[in-house]
Amino acid sequence: MCGKYICPRCGREVEFLIDGLCPKCYAEVKGPELIPNVIEAEVCRYCGAVKLGFKWIETEGNFESVIMKVVEHEIEKVAEKSNVISNIELKDAIFETEPNWTTRLVLVLTGTVRSERVEWKKPVTVRLNPSICPKCITKISGEYDTVVQLRGDLRPEVLEKDVIDLIEGNVIFNDLIDVIRHKEGVDVYFSHIGAARKFIKIILKKYEASWKGPYREVIGTDSSGKSRTRNTFVVRITSKK
d(CA 26, CA 29): 5
Q: SS3 sequence, 21-36?
A: ECHHHHHHHHHHHHCC
Backbone angles phi, psi at 95, to 5 degrees: -80, 125
d(CA 189, CA 193): 10
Sketch the domain layout of the chain as residue ranges: 26-131, 143-240
- How far lies 223's CA from each of 121, 145, 146, 218, 226, in Å? 58, 17, 20, 15, 7
Model confidence pTM above 0.75: no
pLDDT in tens, 20-52: 999 999 999 999 999 999 999 999 988 899 999
Q: How confident is the model at residue 132 (pLDDT cuts 50, 70, 90)?
A: confident
User: How far is C-alpha 187 from the geometric centre of its chain's CA atoms?
Assistant: 18
3-state DSSP assignment of residue 166 = helix
Cis peptide before 99 (omega within 30 of 0): no
DSSP string for residues in 68-119: HHHHHHHHHHHHHH-SSEEEEEEEEEEESS-SSSEEEEEEEEEEEETTEEEE
Q: Is the pLDDT of residue 220 over 80?
A: no
3-state DSSP assignment of residue 218 = strand
